[in-house]
A and B are shown apart, each in its own frame.
Chain A
């Protein structure tokens, strides 16, 4: 009797495995699991490689940033490679050299960081203080533009936010 039950269980298991495996494979290829779309963060602009291989960055970027954060604030190390400003300069730069208005903003799921964080239900508060987009080099640390041109107005921010909420 127990042999029969064991064989049945084995059959059921094989059937289940056979059912799910190809389904998973196709889903990953089409970048979606049911209604959930797997994020495809934007590749760096104008740079061939990231500071680390993609697999490392996926798992470790938060540790790099956390370490860099203290090194920068306490010791003033601003030129080492794991800088949040560096991430934004490459992955979410302002498309126009004149204004910041062309860059994607953090509330938008299209944002380099927001896509994966939404997917994995991670809530970060980096961008409550930090800039969520790279500014043109001319805007960094040099006063070239008056604030009304260099910065997004509150109205524009809410327009953008409303647009991404609506989507």
Chain B
């Protein structure tokens, strides 16, 4: 515990020191003899990521999708009664059937983390917002619970908390009178960056098999970009032009 406290205190100071050190090196050593590139210590030079998911519905059984929903509930501490239209619903199971055949397909449906999110456009307080890295969130400190965003969302990804709650988890503050939705496990993303694995993906991914792949859509070398390049991916309701960050295969 004590060492963690130290880490927390030291990190910003260490970062400042490193920045200062590289600036000093750049200033004192002759051109062409730089010990460090200044850019290496500067985080702002890196291209901003855009986090997204690639979901391979061919590799997901109905049980897998149920496991995704359950994992999300456990991770964030929300619950949903079967058949209730007003309960929390960060992620849900959608079944598709092909008319005239026995073909059935199941996919997990959650916030699509759009590049042009309609929920953000309609929010009267700015509580619904898109982070620099593309994750769409609700700032519950400024949300007034008007639910415009729920009406604007073409994916029905958001839900409203009608009742007072108790025993929320530290990673997922939730409260009565605010709107909520999938956060792309933002607490894991902030901790692990490109190596983050959202809870739903963790529930179904096995060694060598990743039906739900998390990654940086802006990085052409990332696994998700490579796979999209090779196999393609469907944007749900692409006609709306909202450019979702969640892509599906096998639809």
Contact = CB atoms under 8 A, between A and B. Distances in A.
Given A51-B9, A143-B74, A78 B190 contact: yes
Contacts of A135: 169-170
Contacts of A166: none
A152 interface: yes
B114 to A, nearest CB: 18
Contacts, number: 99
B164 A141 contact: no
A134 B4 CA distance: 15
B15 to A, nearest CB: 11
B193 to A, nearest CB: 10
B227 interface: no
B173 interface: yes
Contacts of B173: 129-131
Contacts of A47: 1-2, 5
Contacts of B171: 85, 140-141
Contacts of B190: 76-78
Contact of B137 (A49, A73, A100, A128): A73
B131 A128 contact: no
Interface string B165-189: 1111111011110100000011111
Interface in A35-85: 45-49, 51, 69-70, 73-81, 85
A69 B141 contact: yes
In which size bucket is the chain B interface?
35 or more
Interface in A135-152: 135, 139-141, 143, 145-147, 150-152
B2 A129 contact: no
B202 to A, nearest CB: 7
Interface of B: 1-2, 5, 8-9, 11-12, 71, 73-75, 77, 79, 129, 131-133, 137, 139-141, 164-171, 173-176, 178, 185-191, 199, 202-203
Interface of A: 45-49, 51, 69-70, 73-81, 85-86, 88-90, 100, 128-131, 134-135, 139-141, 143, 145-147, 150-152, 154, 157
Given A129-B178, A131-B167, 10 more contacts: A70-B141, A76-B133, A77-B190, A78-B187, A81-B8, A129-B175, A131-B168, A147-B79, A151-B77, A157-B166
24 contacts: A47-B2, A51-B9, A70-B141, A73-B139, A76-B189, A80-B12, A85-B171, A128-B164, A129-B165, A129-B175, A129-B178, A130-B168, A130-B170, A130-B173, A131-B173, A140-B171, A141-B75, A143-B74, A145-B74, A147-B79, A151-B77, A151-B167, A152-B166, A152-B167
